[in-house]
Amino acid sequence: MTSTSASATRADVIIDQDCELDDDGDDAAADLREAMYQEGKGTWYNGRLTLDSSGQLDADFDYDNPPFDGMLIRIC
């Protein structure tokens, strides 16, 4: 994962704060991404999980927009 952000919204204010997942959260996100892999399609580039005040969880996954404008990055 390259980055994680959190946003808290109330009726009167929006608070945005960059944060990082701890190791367990990072592992869970990587496991989810791997489990959602589809042969011939791949897996998602970006995901957004939204939890509202009633406890309703919504998930949105982006399969179309690779990060870094689609550049391949090789780490040696």
Give residue 24's pLDDT.
Answer: 86
- Tell me the two tokens of residue 19: 């944060």
Residue 3: closest CA among 23, 25, 20 = 20
| Model confidence, pTM | 0.64
- Tell me the two tokens of residue 5: 């952000």
Q: What value does the CA radius of gyration of the chain take, rounded to a whole number of Å? A: 15
Q: pLDDT confidence of 16, banded at 50, 70, 90?
A: low
What confidence tens digit (pLDDT) does each residue in 32-72 have?
A: 999 999 998 889 988 888 877 788 888 999 988 887 766 66
Bigger pLDDT: 21 vs 58: 58
Rounded-to-integer distance, Cα 47 and Cα 60, Å: 6
| 4 touches 21 (CB < 8 A) | yes
